[in-house]
């Protein structure tokens, strides 16, 4: 008699090698530099048709510790389907890159579907949402499921992007119910992106964005424990673009708190992650005050971080 083994409900991804996200798995780094919207160098190479050079960007992300590779070709100067197809086909022929899973990243579902036709192994689709209503959401989810892909669901509905804790939880809960009951997705294959927005912008309404993300993450994981949480970490520090020293510290502090709240993975620059405990104490305190929205009446904490940033600007 053959003994039956129970397959545990873990998120299982693969390139040429498997990536199983277990409860004890550390934060999963998704390499962000093979994204034309986030890397000027990568965008320039793709626009010029220099795909071999573009592959070196992907290779460097893997060497720097990326466990998943985010690929995005959303650029007005590109034919997105063609660029995604060409690049992913080339990636599949490079074992040192193809060993890790791919995250097919696009706001256009035609590009996502083109990517799904190229990728070997089990990938992640980034992303689908309910911004065009439930019918379109269900249709796209069924297509992703037919390819065996895990999916990232943005906290975005017919009204718009969720920017408060309550809206993030409401939209993710609604999407979860649809995916489980109508599409037949396994909960461990659902990854929520509750929207990481820029903070320290000088606009008071933005000051609680990081807190809202952290608290929503904690509640989503409590309500839907087998699901995963992801997000674009660098969005949060966009106000400090050009100042990598401050941005990297902000990312480390943000991840310190979001990972404790239950964040499982994130799109990051795998070569520029700093360790929370190694951040200069003054900068760490300033970052914490801004991220946790402490002592920030009249944007006081924001102003202090901006002033500090001026002293370390490259």
240-259 confidence digits (pLDDT tens) = 999 999 999 999 999 999 99
- The rounded percent of the chain whose pLDDT value lies above 70 is 98
pLDDT of residue 2: 59
Token representation of residue 300: 């006081």
Could you tell me the pLDDT band of residue 4, with boundaries at 50, 70 and 90? low
Q: What is the pLDDT of residues 190-240, one digit of tens each?
A: 999 999 999 999 999 999 999 999 999 999 999 999 999 999 999 999 999
Token representation of residue 49: 């048709």
User: What is the pTM assigned to this prediction?
Assistant: 0.96
Specify whether the backbone of 247 is left (phi greater than 0), alpha (psi in -120 to 50) or beta. Answer: alpha
pLDDT of residue 83: 99
pLDDT of residue 3: 61
| DSSP state at residue 167 | H
Greater model confidence, 259 or 273: 259
pLDDT of residue 271: 81
HSE value, Cβ hemisphere, 13 Å, CA-based, for 254: 32
Which domains, from first to last, does the chain contain?
11-311 (3.20.20.20)
Q: d(Cα 255, Cα 277) in Å, to the nearest integer?
A: 12
- According to DSSP, the residues that pair with 124 across neighbouring strands are 103, 150
Q: State the average pLDDT for the chain.
A: 96
Q: What is the pLDDT of residues 78-118, one digit of tens each?
A: 999 999 999 999 999 999 999 999 999 999 999 999 999 99
SS3 194: coil
Whether residue 271 contacts residue 234, with contact meaning beta carbons closer than 8 Å, is answered with no
Whether residue 246 contacts residue 308, with contact meaning beta carbons closer than 8 Å, is answered with yes
Q: d(Cα 63, Cα 134) in Å, to the nearest integer?
A: 40
Q: d(Cα 4, Cα 275) in Å, to the nearest integer?
A: 43
């Amino acid at each position: 008699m053959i003994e039956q083994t129970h397959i545990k409900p873990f998120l299982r991804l693969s390139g040429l090698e498997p990536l199983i996200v277990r409860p004890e798995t550390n934060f999963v780094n998704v390499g962000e530099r093979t994204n034309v919207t986030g890397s000027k160098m990568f965008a320039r190479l793709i626009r010029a048709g220099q795909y071999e050079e573009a592959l070196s960007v992907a290779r460097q992300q893997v060497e720097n510790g990326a466990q998943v590779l985010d690929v995005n070709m959303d650029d007005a100067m590109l034919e997105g389907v063609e660029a995604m197809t060409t690049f992913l086909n080339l990636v599949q022929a490079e074992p040192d890159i193809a060993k890790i899973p791919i995250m097919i990243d696009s706001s256009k579902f035609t590009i996502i579907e083109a990517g799904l036709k190229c990728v070997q192994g089990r990938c992640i689709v980034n992303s689908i949402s309910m911004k065009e209503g439930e019918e379109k959401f269900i249709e796209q989810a069924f297509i992703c499921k037919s390819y065996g892909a895990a999916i990232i669901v943005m906290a975005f509905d017919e009204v718009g992007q969720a920017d408060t804790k309550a809206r993030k939880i409401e939209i993710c809960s609604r999407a979860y119910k649809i995916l489980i009951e109508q599409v037949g997705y396994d909960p461990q294959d659902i990854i929520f992106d509750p929207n990481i927005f820029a903070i320290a912008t000088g606009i008071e309404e933005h000051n609680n964005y990081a807190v809202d993300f952290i608290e929503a993450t904690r509640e989503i994981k409590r309500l839907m424990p087998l699901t995963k949480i992801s997000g674009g970490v660098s969005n949060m520090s966009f106000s400090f673009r050009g100042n990598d020293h401050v941005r990297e510290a902000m990312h480390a502090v943000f991840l310190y708190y979001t990972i404790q709240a239950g964040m499982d993975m994130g799109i990051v620059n795998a070569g520029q992650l700093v360790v929370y405990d190694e951040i200069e104490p003054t900068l760490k305190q300033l970052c914490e005050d801004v991220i946790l929205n402490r002592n920030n009446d009249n944007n006081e904490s924001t102003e202090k971080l901006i002033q500090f940033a001026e002293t370390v600007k490259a």
